[in-house]
Chains A and B, each alone.
Chain A
Amino acid sequence: DAGITQSPRHKVTETGTPVTLRCHQTENHRYMYWYRQDPGHGLRLIHYSYGVKDTDKGEVSDGYSVSRSKTEDFLLTLESATSSQTSVYFCAISESSGSNEQFFGPGTRLTVL
């Protein structure tokens, strides 16, 4: 299995509070991604990174920001959490060799009350 960890694995928070989710990889892969999974929607891309300090928006980026200060870490921040951001969040990584395959972390279940 690709070395990807996510923390925390579960979190319950209240509306309006800031939340940061962490993704850590030991594979030295260039690309990192944040997705959210909701029933009926599959996985939708929030933000992605193509290198240290290089990030871009995905399909559902509103209300989220990201940072990548090191190759191995990709942080997802909800500045002011809302109930609509209750979801399961997955981090993924891929190489830059042209392979389209992405490797996923175990996920973080976030509940915003």
Chain B
Amino acid sequence: DQQVKQNSPSLSVQEGRISILNCDYTNSMFDYFLWYKKYPAEGPTFLISISSIKDKNEDGRFTVFLNKSAKHLSLHIVPSQPGDSAVYFCAASPNNAGNMLTFGGGTRLMVKP
């Protein structure tokens, strides 16, 4: 059973609007969460992360929110740009397994001009 789930396989947003990508997890041992972005024919690249001691982390147009009680995190992109069109993976790491990551299935974001 998947411990990290991204229930929306795709999302389409108009340029300039907000994109919200969601991720749910089941393992209460996860205490560090990351978002990766992947373009076709390339490896994933790190985007933003958040520790379980925080509920929000912001980096430019990207903000990640963490709701520990709901075991839910989300990535907000404001404003969305056509270059943001990619597949986004959330990943989680438990507090006793060093650098091990468990990934969600990914959400394909399409930003229309």
Contact = CB atoms under 8 A, between A and B. Distances in A.
Given A103-B46, A106-B42, A45 B100 contact: yes
A104 B34 CA distance: 14
B99 A43 contact: no
B60 interface: no
Interface string A19-35: 00000000000010001
B99 A100 contact: yes
Contacts of A44: 103
A74 interface: no
Contact of B32 (A31, A50, A100, A107): A100
Contacts, number: 55
Contacts of B100: 45, 48
Interface size class of A (residues with CB under 8 A): 20 to 34
A100 B43 contact: no
Residue among A45, A48, A50, A100 with max Cβ neighbours from chain B (10 Å): A100
B9 A43 contact: no
Interface string A77-103: 000000000000010101010011111
14 contacts: A31-B98, A41-B105, A42-B6, A90-B43, A96-B99, A99-B99, A100-B34, A100-B99, A102-B46, A102-B99, A103-B46, A104-B44, A104-B45, A106-B41
Interface of A: 4, 31, 35, 40-45, 48, 50, 90, 92, 94, 96, 99-107
Interface of B: 4, 6, 9, 32, 34, 36, 41-46, 49, 89, 91, 93, 98-106
